Amino acid sequence: MRTLIAALAVALLSTSPAFAEDHSAHAMHGMAASAKSTALSEGTVKKLDKAKNRVTIAHGPIANLDMGAMTMTFVVAKPASLDKVKVGDKVRFQAEEGKDDLMINRLEVVK
C-alpha cells in the first residue's frame, strides 16, 4: 500500500508542470483591453444641443464599445467641450457607457 501511495505521489509531482498554466497572455489581455478602452474614435459632428449637453456624431467603429459605424447622439461629460466644436467638424472622441446613456469623456477637433 505504501508503495502504491508513493508511486502515485511521484507520478503526480512529476506531471504537475503539465498542469501548470501560462498566465502571461492574461497580462497582455489587460493591456489590450486598456488600450482598447482609451482609443479615440473618429466622426463628424452632425448636431449640437448645448442645453442638454448632447452631440450627434456620424462615427466610425467604436472599438471599446464593440460598436460599428453609425450616427448617434451622445451625452458630453464636460459641457465646455461643446464650445470647441461646430456642426461639420471632424472630431476624435472617447465614448464610454454612462449611467443611462453613452457618454463622451474626451472630444477634440481634428486639425
Q: Is residue 91 part of a domain?
A: yes
Q: Is residue 14 part of a domain?
A: no
Q: Is residue 28 part of a domain?
A: no
Give per-residue burial for 5-22: e unless 16+ CB within 10 Å, then b. eeeeeeeeeeeeeeeeee
pTM over 0.75: no
pLDDT digits (tens, 9 = 90+) for 35-75: 555 789 999 999 999 999 999 999 999 999 999 999 999 99
Cell of 43: 466622426
Three-class SS of 2-31: HHHHHHHHHHHHHHHHHHCCCCHHHHHHHH
SS3 105: strand
Whole-angstrom CA distances from 97 to 3, 6, 15, 44, 103 are 61, 56, 46, 20, 6
Task: Name the percent of the chain lying above pLDDT 90.
Answer: 60
Range of the domain at 64: 41-109
Q: What is the CATH number of the domain that holds 83?
A: 2.40.50.320
| Number of compact structural domains in the chain | 1
